[in-house]
Structure 1
Amino acid sequence: MQYNYLGKTGIKVSRLCFGALTIGPLQSNLPVKEGAGIIRRALDAGVNFIDTAELYQTYPHIREAIRGRSGETVITTKCYAYTREGMEKSLSTALKALGRDYIDIFLLHEQESELTIRGHWEAVERLLEAKEKGVVRALGISTHSVRGVRAAAAVPEFDVIHPLVNITGIGIQDGTVEDMAAAIAEAGRAGKGIYGMKALGGGNLISDTRQAFDFVLSLPGLAAVAVGMRTAAEVDYNVAVFNGLTPDSRVQRLVNVQSRRLHIEDWCRGCGQCVERCGSGALFLDGDRARVNPELCRLCGYCGSVCPEFCIKII
């Protein structure tokens, strides 16, 4: 497994990062022991980097996966807190749920621009205090926008940026994939540690997995790429590709036959909360129920977190 340093943080991470969203309630909803087993399979293969968030509800899976393991496991988490008190609560929750006395990387979740960063500055100040005390090793933002990457690159206090990037530009809120690649390169030159997300477009690019991975792995400035994994076959396939190897033919078949889509149950009553939550504009109301434009959907599953009827899932 190849390892890189995240910018100037001094944190060394595997180029393949385990994206924990897919094992949690918003997507596959794996039981804790089963999800922990998938994570451990990746850790045993040399992956030392896990990406999660308060929203994903996967802290128990990660805690179980790293229990009793020797060696460093780098964990990133994120939250939407914008006040000092909110960040204090999120930080405390993460430490307790993960069973740790520090968080490697703590990010402001889904920042769009310099304006949203400014609106979250109280939370940033709390993270800076935590960093001074060694409770947080590095901080920054996750973002689906080119403007967000460029804004974060200009903030001296930020160490890490976690941008959305893939070969077709699925999910980028503003600009093109070329714009995003240029912003990532600029941020890398500014010394920021950068690791990408949604290399497979949330699952939309599974049929062209190898080409999609080759693209992100060729981008200057990306120290690592977070990839959602929910099966042993996906772990084995991704580890092989990130190691520069050709995956076993059986594993390739298992991965290539998988497809994913956003499913909305018939009992949807059209309250519109998912439409408001969707950051990619993929959801819309059609009469008395919500529907999805699959060409815009990045299959993040965040819409499911606000559905009062629990009728949205990734299948």
Structure 2
Amino acid sequence: MGPMKKKRLGTTDLYVTPVGMGTLTMGFSQKNLPEEEGAAVIVHAAARGINFFDTAQYYDTYRYLAPALREIRRRGIPEPVISSKTLAEDYEGTRDAVEECLQSLDRSAVDIFLLHEVRGMDDFRRREGAWKALLDMKAEGLIRAAGISTHHVDACRGMAEAAGCDVVFPLINLTGLGIRTLDPDGSDRPASREEMEEAIRICHAWGRGIFTMKAFGGGNLIEDYVRCLDYASGIPGNQSVMIGMADTAQVDTALRYFQGELDRTYVPDITGKRLMVDQSDCEGCGTCKARCVSHAIHWNENGLAEIDQKKCVHCGYCAPVCPVRAIIFL
């Protein structure tokens, strides 16, 4: 098969491959790869034709992207589209986050910069200063496209009418694992994939670029690899599926799928994988601990949930109830 056909991201001038590479998986909270190893995976992906990479200030993965970009430029591989994001809530903190990204990656402008994990439109309004910083820096030519990443249906839907929004990066997958919404009465509840599909449809109709995360639900749905990607890539309005990758085999498998070369009966080898609580996401609410039928989840010294691998029976009952999608299969 030839190179993947790139898609225009909304009404921006950015054209991206239908699959992107997320770098969270290789970072400190998950695989914590040596810098040289992580950079090599990124270079491999770019050399194979993936032109879209996601990072974030919080992931601490600029240390992989920086040397990878130097090698990509040295080899004459086309410069990829980079998306980053920040958890900052104020104007100055957001400007600092963008400047950090530009300096770390040796760029004069970052392609996409997002407010990271916006938890509903109330949260977006609370971060008004941060949003203004993104729009100001876009006007200054330091950002090419601004938007948000979110697990919340109401935030995705609300960004359709948000002035200056170019792109939205929502969570969606085959079973709706991890999708939330903030109702008008202020209650935060689980939401369905159909609700997020409708929010994506509305954003797309308003010209927002859409790329999606967590097609495998943090690895919890990975055994249904082909169906998961069939679903995510087939969502109307979704221009790219961002997949967390930490080795070249994962890159090559994803490329075979998107180039139509992967056996439809493919099931990944999950030998050695385990359920774990991402300590960077866990909020210590105790929902997973209460749901665990094997009493395998306990509080660690930081007051966060941790899974005892000797007791865990891999039933997966804990993952769907986590309100912040902190339980992953890695």
Shared topology, TM-score over 0.5? yes
Residues 183-194 of structure 1 aligned to structure 2 (within 5 Å): 183-194=199-210
Residues 170-185 of structure 1 aligned to structure 2 (within 5 Å): 170-174=177-181, 175-185=191-201
Select which of 15, 18, 43 maps to 1:15. 18
Structure 1 SS opposite 2:46: helix
The amino acid across from 2:32 in the alignment is N
The amino acid across from 2:64 in the alignment is H
Contact 2:29 2:278 survives alignment (8 Å): no
State percent identity of aligned pairs.
Answer: 36
Q: Distance in 2 between matches of 1:185 and 1:253?
A: 30
Contact 2:219 2:329 survives alignment (8 Å): no
Partner of 1:306: none
Structure 1 range deviating more: 16-25 or 114-123: 114-123
The amino acid across from 2:48 in the alignment is A
Partner of 1:309: none
* TM-score, normalisation: structure 2: 0.82
Encode CA deviations 1:251-277: one digit per residue, 9 max, x unaligned. x56645463421599xxxxxxx97536
The amino acid across from 1:60 in the alignment is R
Residues 27-42 of structure 1 aligned to structure 2 (within 5 Å): 27-42=30-45
Residues paired across the two proteins, number: 295
Contact 1:50 1:76 survives alignment (8 Å): yes
The amino acid across from 1:84 in the alignment is Y
CA displacement at 1:60 relative to structure 2 = 1.2
Root-mean-square deviation (CA), in Å?
A: 2.7
Select which of 103, 119, 123 maps to 1:112. 119
Partner of 2:161: 154
CA displacement at 1:212 relative to structure 2 = 0.3
Q: Distance in 2 between matches of 1:25 and 1:229?
A: 14
Partner of 2:224: 208
Structure 1 range deviating more: 37-46 or 290-299: 290-299
Select which of 211, 215, 225 maps to 1:199. 215
More helix by share: 1
CA displacement at 1:120 relative to structure 2 = 1.1
Q: Mark the runs of 5 or more structure 1 residues left unpaired by the alignment.
A: 266-272, 304-312
The amino acid across from 1:9 in the alignment is T
Structure 1 SS opposite 2:21: strand
Encode CA deviations 1:77-97: one digit per residue, 9 max, x unaligned. 010111111112111111111
Select which of 267, 275, 288 maps to 1:261. 275
Structure 2 SS opposite 1:194: strand
In the alignment, structure 1 residue 5 sits paired with structure 2 residue 8:
yes
Q: Distance in 2 between matches of 1:217 and 1:264?
A: 26
The amino acid across from 1:240 in the alignment is R
The amino acid across from 1:196 in the alignment is T
The amino acid across from 2:156 in the alignment is V
Residues 1-315 of structure 1 aligned to structure 2 (within 5 Å): 1-68=4-71, 69=73, 70=76, 71-174=78-181, 175-246=191-262, 255=269, 257=271, 259-262=273-276, 275-276=282-283, 282=288, 290-291=305-306, 293-297=318-322, 315=330
Encode CA deviations 1:249-305: one digit per residue, 9 max, x unaligned. 9xx56645463421599xxxxxxx975367x9546785776356234359965x9xx
Structure 1 SS opposite 2:82: strand
Contact 1:112 1:143 survives alignment (8 Å): yes
Encode CA deviations 1:49-86: one digit per residue, 9 max, x unaligned. 00011111000101111114232210000101111111
CA displacement at 1:2 relative to structure 2 = 2.5
